[in-house]
Amino acid sequence: MFGEQDFIQYWTAFKFFINGENPYDIEATRALQCSLGHDCDQVLVSWNPPWLLILMSPVLLLPFTMAAKGWVVVGFALSAAAAFLVADCYRQDLRSTIYALIGVFINAPLLLSAGFGQTGSLLLFAAALLLHGRVKSGSSLQQAIALVLLSVKPHLFILVAAAFLWDELRRKQLRIVFQSASILAFFSAVLIVVNPMILPTWLNHIVGKSDTDGILGLTEWNTPTLGNLLRHIAQQFSEGRADTFLFFTPAAAAAGLAWWLWRNPSIDWRCVMPPLIALSLWFAPYGWAYDWAVLGVLQASLLCWLATGGADRTLWSATAVIVGTQFTAGYMTLRLQLTLDKLIWLPAVLLVLWYIAGRKAGERELPTHGV
């Protein structure tokens, strides 16, 4: 059923969590998921940071089928909210808001995320919330909440986090970092009170000390990242060293970002964050294509920039490219049933579009009205 395939891992983990049982017990999870009609030969365990269960708890408290449908509705509501937040970063009028909605919802990964029952819409909202807090509201609490939401899948946002920390240090401010740490500390306390075993078990798995059978390790995954592509190429020459690309690639990207920040210490987040999101996804050690729903921030930001800058021909051309690109991505995955790693080209196309559209718009300054 739409929205249930991966959502079941969160729902079953939450049931074990609130009952004081082990959410990472493979056989218990298999039995519960099988009773819900899931494939009994395939068990899905949620290895996301366990505070995700707290964030999703209002939905996870519902019966399974109702919860899955509810999460789809929540996801689309969060996506719409993300569009309004992005539009407000540039200039929130009807025209820019409409194009922001187009940029967010013409998005094959968002549809994939909803169909799987994944968290792509939550990440999309969090990225938009961080951008808005950085360039418009200035609220430190808003930015802290956004960072906590993004910590659900921190490996996808290494470059964004590095730029954020650089900017905070440059401003000689770390209040937002401390607020984020305080929120996570509170969530950890709640986790320990409700189920003392969940954090130690999860941490043991993260550091590689888990004895849980039936879980594929990182080096066995096949995800649409540059590191994974380079690993497959390197395996033809040196099988033993190929996996190093999964970690070398994000490290090299972080070094390149550090060099760029050193030369450009002042950050205009409306110009920097949208493409940096795409680069973070592309250079991540791993990351599934349904998480790329967050690319909606780049698409919405680009269209808002062009819509408020009066570059109509470029705006219409960029919209057409986005529609064509996302239709192709959707056709590949939904119609041709190709594996998700085949979408590795998607962030690259959107990055090129961002650069070309910006050049054709005359390198004009971003609108400052209302910002």
- pLDDT, the chain, mean: 90
pLDDT at 362 over 60: no
Q: In this predicted structure, what is the pLDDT of residue 371? A: 42
Q: In this predicted structure, what is the pLDDT of residue 93? A: 85
The rounded distance, in Å, linking the Cα atoms of 99 and 354 is 15
Q: Please, which residues have CB within 8 angstroms of residue 264's CB and are 6 or more apart in sequence?
A: none
43: phi then psi, degrees, rounded to nearest 5: -105, 135
**Taking CA 170 as the corner, what is the angle to CA 168 and CA 172, rounded to the nearest 5 degrees?**
70
Greater model confidence, 327 or 207: 327
| Average pLDDT of the residues in 158-171 | 94
pTM reported for the whole predicted model: 0.94
Domains of the chain: which residue ranges? 7-210+220-360
Q: In this predicted structure, what is the pLDDT of residue 6? A: 94
The rounded distance, in Å, linking the Cα atoms of 284 and 227 is 7
The per-residue pLDDT for range 96-145, each reduced to its tens digit, is 999 999 999 999 999 999 999 999 999 999 999 999 999 999 999 999 99
Grade residue 155 by pLDDT with cuts at 50, 70 and 90: very high
Handedness of CA 320, 288, 291, 366 (dihedral sign): negative
Contact 325, 270 (CB under 8 A): no
Q: Which two tokens stand for residue 210?
A: 């888990």
Q: In this predicted structure, what is the pLDDT of residue 334? A: 87
Q: In this predicted structure, what is the pLDDT of residue 218? A: 57
Q: In this predicted structure, what is the pLDDT of residue 240? A: 64
Q: In this predicted structure, what is the pLDDT of residue 295? A: 97
Q: Where are the alpha helices (DSSP H) in 224-309?
A: 226-234, 245-263, 269-283, 296-309
Grade residue 220 by pLDDT with cuts at 50, 70 and 90: low
Q: Which of 76-90, 229-243, 329-343, 346-360 has the lowest mean pLDDT?
A: 229-243
pLDDT at 3 over 70: yes
| Average pLDDT of the residues in 185-210 | 87
pLDDT at 363 over 60: no
pLDDT at 66 over 80: yes
The per-residue pLDDT for range 264-283, each reduced to its tens digit, is 888 899 999 999 999 999 99
Contact 287, 153 (CB under 8 A): yes
